[in-house]
Chain A
């Protein structure tokens, strides 16, 4: 296959960190080329540089053997290069059509906006991606999978030759992922090249032709996908062997720690379960199934409509997070950048934020004790940071997550709700996080673990609650269940003939306990 794009000796620094250090890569026409690596390996940075989203410090890029300059997104657009970000850079309050024509050099804008002319322009591309919605629908009314299709249609309307997809499947349902893959195969067949930035092995093996591995900002290797084993690829990414082991939580014969009865908020309905001391209770379900809603109800973020909660045998109700924390319940939020970390503050300041009241001498922070306590936790979580004083945004995703975990380990609550703690975290950090969960379990804490990855739940938990549509569809025992059974519960469609309300009252909790 002829080479479409070749990047040579690309360098990029952020502050003192070498995000890319002399990286070269070449992409063939009509191939799906994976850019892989752990968090902080530089794969996203490389994708963004190819698409002109950020400029490189130095390096040369050839398109069809011609030296080109890609200093900004417009340059990229003229050359036929588009990027689809993880957090789709679309405008939620504009319509599908407006999102497609805005800043689009191929759309000759009339003086006044004419919906008909936009529709005429957009339709062929919307058809191409298989989106048959009226083009005047507001973008925010679409599910995330469809938004992504709009983003791809937009790219196609720019005569795209190369699409960079940055972690595109991270917030998609399995069904939407399948649809995306079908679309990718179609694009590939029509000669479009795709640079697929990801750290998900199964996806890369499913959809990609070749893979380039980066590690710590440096080029490691490029391989044809059929010529490499999954295990070797992991070894290239992390630079060492990773042996996956089962979490061994303490036996859950302990007393009941948290007891929830018929808990109802605007996001969840009639959820009941018990959590024992030392237990790691899994919570499975698709995005929007009420997993985060359950955490919000316990942590005092959502108002409780009805239902009872007992913590340690005493009635529990939190009015706000501060309240929850005081009573011994913690929550590690789903999105560490938005809900978790103060990105400009230092690692130490982030870790100790919730225990400052304990580090008080009159009004001052006892810094020596702060250092001692945080150091101790960093060792336990094997957090890697050049110093406790660097801003937390200079760390990789995995280490950022560990800072957030460190904050909760310092608070040391009885019950900790972990909302997708390994999301966007590299393989090595994942193992460390499992280790932390295991240790907390042995200390007799109760852990509620939400995860989008079923193998993770099967590995860490004894029991798993399966949620769908804000309701508990069943409780499964890990020893006697399969991924398929959980998926079935999580995607189970209620019989449409029966009245939904009726169905809700009669639904049977499947429990094999």
Chain B
């Protein structure tokens, strides 16, 4: 087999699942007056990507964490914390420094605080050697509590007044093209970081084989802390966007978002064992998840049935990822053709 071609195979596999679902969606999609599938309309695709951007941004940070053989269950809660903080600073603080500086401060503080929460989790994981699952499970509970405490468990609504600072904020960050732009830009950034930088190499190396990484003299603890800090910062960024899109900072939002993010990463072909995976896969995984949700919505499928259908499709998508599935398919084909397979 051609070497270049062989390197493209895993990428092809992650696209295959998406392609299958897109084709299914086109066939199933209701049609508009001209007989054109609504699913294919520009408006619909803008919707898909915009809706998935929050999960996508969470999934980027999650990809790094999972590549390092960890997991982060706290990003949903951190997203809520970020959204709440953004809304609180926009609505309840008056710095007297003008509109745009204050918006910048709000965003910076929300992202910074979220990064700090991730930093804290990373520190416990690296320095005290507690399992990531346990630490981030605790963080999921704790940071949700923090978000609720900061807002006295109430929803901080943004003003609908265009002249108010929050009106300026939403005019930018609720714009679907800005949201999509942020997702694509961060994806590109992460992709470069992972494939070209020393940091990316180290993250994959320690996910692939932690013991060997230690013997090779890599700064393991620093890498672990960095990975969770980045995941936290990305959750904060997703929180800012969430706040703008929903025009509110609700400390109870973002429930189970971490699970969607993990699903997106896994559908994208990243191994939960760590060491193997790409950002491209995660983007494809995010879109796959988005298309599934979208087409079920277009068909007007009942919300509860939607969940069940999504569950099945997630498993199928991951199944398509695995090389063994192809091997088995090939073997059954051979059997059908009468070749004896031991």
Interface residues of A (CB under 8 A from B): 10, 15-16, 49, 55-61, 69-71, 299, 320-322, 324-326, 331, 333, 338-345, 349, 353-354, 356-357, 359-360, 363-365, 367, 386-387, 389-390, 407
Contacts and interface: CB of A to CB of B under 8 A. Distances in A.
Contacts of B334: 58
Contacts of A69: 342
Question: Is the contact region of chain A dominated by helix, strand, or loop, or is it mixed?
Answer: mixed
Nearest to B204: A345
Given A58-B341, A342-B208, A342-B209, A354 B3 contact: no
A6 to B, nearest CB: 13
B35 interface: no
A321 B214 contact: yes
Contact of A365 (B201, B214, B276, B341): B201
A59 B198 CA distance: 46
B197 A345 contact: no
B204 A342 contact: yes
B215 to A, nearest CB: 5
B3 A387 contact: yes
Interface of B: 1, 3, 6-7, 193, 196-199, 201-202, 204-205, 208-209, 211-219, 275-276, 331, 334, 339-342
A56 B218 contact: no
A508 B55 CA distance: 69
Given A339-B215, A344-B208, 4 more contacts: A299-B215, A340-B212, A387-B3, A407-B216
Given A344-B275, A345-B275, A321 B204 contact: no
A176 to B, nearest CB: 26
Contacts of A367: 196
Given A10-B342, A49-B342, A365-B197, A339 B6 contact: no
B1 A16 contact: yes
B205 A345 contact: yes
Given A338-B211, A344-B208, A58 B342 contact: yes
A247 B236 CA distance: 61
Indicate the member of B6, B197, B342 with the most A CB atoms within 10 Å: B342
Given A345-B204, A345-B275, A354 B217 contact: yes
A200 to B, nearest CB: 27
A359 B211 CA distance: 23
Given A55-B341, A58-B341, A61-B342, A342 B215 contact: no
Given A341-B209, A343-B208, A353-B218, A71 B198 contact: no
B74 to A, nearest CB: 27
Contacts of B197: 363-365
Indicate the member of A59, A343, A353, A360 with the most B CB atoms within 10 Å: A353
Contacts of B341: 55-58
18 contacts: A56-B342, A59-B342, A321-B215, A321-B216, A325-B217, A331-B215, A333-B215, A338-B211, A339-B211, A341-B209, A342-B204, A342-B213, A353-B205, A356-B201, A359-B198, A363-B193, A365-B196, A387-B3
Contacts of A49: 342
A156 to B, nearest CB: 25
Question: Is the contact region of chain B dominated by helix, strand, or loop, or is it mixed?
Answer: helix
A326 B217 CA distance: 9
Contact of A353 (B7, B201, B211, B219): B201
Contact of A60 (B215, B219, B275, B340): B340
Nearest to A391: B276
Indicate the member of B199, B208, B214, B217 with the most A CB atoms within 10 Å: B217
A408 to B, nearest CB: 10
Contacts of B204: 342, 345, 349
A365 B209 CA distance: 21
B272 to A, nearest CB: 13
A419 to B, nearest CB: 10
| Smallest CB-CB A-B distances: 10 pairs | A342-B208, A56-B342, A325-B217, A322-B217, A356-B198, A363-B197, A321-B217, A344-B275, A354-B216, A344-B276
A339 B210 CA distance: 8
Nearest to A359: B198
A56 B276 CA distance: 26
Nearest to B221: A320
A345 B208 contact: yes
A60 B342 CA distance: 7
Nearest to A300: B217
Nearest to A407: B216
A373 B216 CA distance: 18
A307 to B, nearest CB: 22
Contacts of B201: 349, 353, 356, 365
Contacts of A349: 201, 204-205
A71 B342 contact: yes
Nearest to B274: A344
Contacts of B216: 321, 353-354, 407
Contact of A339 (B1, B199, B212): B212
A15 to B, nearest CB: 8
Indicate the member of B193, B212, B213, B214 with the most A CB atoms within 10 Å: B212
Contacts of B276: 344
A364 B340 contact: no
Contacts of B7: 389
B322 to A, nearest CB: 14
Indicate the member of A69, A322, A387 with the most B CB atoms within 10 Å: A322
Nearest to B196: A364
Contacts of B208: 342-345
B242 to A, nearest CB: 29
Nearest to B277: A344
A343 B205 contact: no
A31 B209 CA distance: 41
A249 to B, nearest CB: 25
Contacts of A343: 208-209
Contacts of B340: 58-60
A343 B271 CA distance: 14
